[in-house]
Amino acid sequence: MRMFGRKKQQLPERHEHIEANLANSTIYVKDLQKVYPSPKGDVTAMKDVNVNVLENEFVCIVGPSGCGKSTLLRMIAGLDEATEGQIVIHDRDIMGPGADRGMVFQSYTLFPWMTVAENIKFGLKIKNMPPQEQDIIADKYLKIIKLEKFRDSYPKELSGGMKQRVAIARALANSPEVLLMDEPFSALDPQTRADMQLLMRQIWQEEKPTVIFVTHDIEEAVFLSSKIYVLTSRPGTVKKAVPVLLPGERDLSLKDTEQFIKLRKEVNLLIEHESL
Ligand SMILES: Nc1ncnc2c1ncn2[C@@H]1O[C@H](COP(=O)(O)OP(=O)(O)OP(=O)(O)O)[C@@H](O)[C@H]1O
């Protein structure tokens, strides 16, 4: 990955936003490009991608299929390497995966041989945290995800939604600087998905983690986020960063409000024009 020295004055103008701590940028993506070599010729998946995620922001990434949403998230996670450009977390260049970034994927990734509590404590154990402290943190997150009664259950005893709640708790228990979520609710039925959106928003409201969340679902993006990055079709680049100026405390009835519907339509239109 080609790296550039980071100069503070190069930072783009910060987004004015009521829900973010304007003093800090957590993730800063500059001029990112990803080219996949292929026998039929190189595939430029994305180019000139610039993204700025402020501390405590809930940012959603949306865009047409194949525009590079997952690729962008994987590069921020350090699971994939950029061809050109720079990704900075706080003041550090991202060179590979790290415990400073928590990940939740669409597929269920719990360790099947561990109980719910053991799954949540996994990263803490790796860090050699004293067991009593691990238990305090596990209990806190079991309460937040409303699975106290399933502390000693195994993943196979849980529904899909419950598994994803544990995956979120496991990621948050490590106190990551940013939580990266790739379509985490897309395998769930509509009712469970709506419940998960509500829970995720409540978690954000209480804990204020910095989140980057990839989704196909515009309604989900508007409901959850403080800011939405809309990407163009391939090669993906940022078409628009849309601030989501909705109330901090949200429940599902918000989806029926005029303000919400207007925003949903605005984002929808931006993507529809890309798909034409
Ligand atoms: N390993 C690879 N080799 C070649 N091309 C790839 C590879 N991985 C991804 N691509 C291409 O890069 C582009 C971006 O893929 P990516 O999965 O990031 O898009 P996406 O926006 O997440 O897609 P979707 O919305 O369908 O999940 C796609 O056009 C894809 O075909």
138 by DSSP, 3-state: which?
A: helix
- Separation of alpha carbons 15 and 64, rounded Å: 24
pLDDT tens for 14-28 read: 334 334 444 578 899
Question: What ipTM was assigned to the predicted interfaces of this complex?
Answer: 0.96
Distance 68 CA to ligand 1 centre (A): 5
* Pocket flag, ligand 1, residue 83 (CB < 6 Å): no
Q: Between helices 160-173 and 116-126, what is the axis angle to 10°?
A: 20
Could you count the other beta carbons within 10 Å of the beta carbon of residue 122? 18
- Separation of alpha carbons 47 and 238, rounded Å: 9
233 by DSSP, 3-state: which?
A: coil
Peptide bond into 235 cis (omega under 30): yes
CB 70 within 8 A of CB 76: no
Among protein residues, the one whose CA lies closest to atom 16 of ligand 1? 68
Kindly state the average pLDDT of the residues 76-80. Answer: 94
* Pocket flag, ligand 1, residue 234 (CB < 6 Å): yes
189 by DSSP, 3-state: which?
A: coil
**Residue 224 backbone phi and psi in degrees, to 5:** -85, -35
pLDDT tens for 161-194 read: 999 999 999 999 999 999 999 999 999 999 999 9
pLDDT tens for 43-72 read: 999 999 999 999 999 999 999 999 999 999
Distance 44 CA to ligand 1 centre (A): 10
pLDDT tens for 104-154 read: 998 878 999 999 999 999 999 999 999 999 999 999 999 999 999 999 999
Q: Give the mean pLDDT of the chain.
A: 89
pTM confidence score: 0.90
CB 150 within 8 A of CB 116: yes
Pocket test for ligand 1, best of 33, 35, 38, 43 (most atoms within 8 A of CB): 43
CA-based nearest residue to 237, from 93, 47, 81: 47
Among protein residues, the one whose CA lies closest to atom 6 of ligand 1? 36
Residue 60: both structure tokens together: 């959603």
Distance 20 CA to ligand 1 centre (A): 30
> Hey, what amino acid is at 60?
C
Residue 159: both structure tokens together: 């529904």
Distance 129 CA to ligand 1 centre (A): 38
Among protein residues, the one whose CA lies closest to atom 11 of ligand 1? 45
Question: Whole-angstrom distance between the N-terminal and C-terminal Cα of the chain?
Answer: 33
Distance 66 CA to ligand 1 centre (A): 5
In sequence order, which residues have a C-beta less than 8 Å from that of residue 273 and are 6 or more positions away?
A: none
User: For the chain, what percent of residues have pLDDT higher than 90?
Assistant: 81
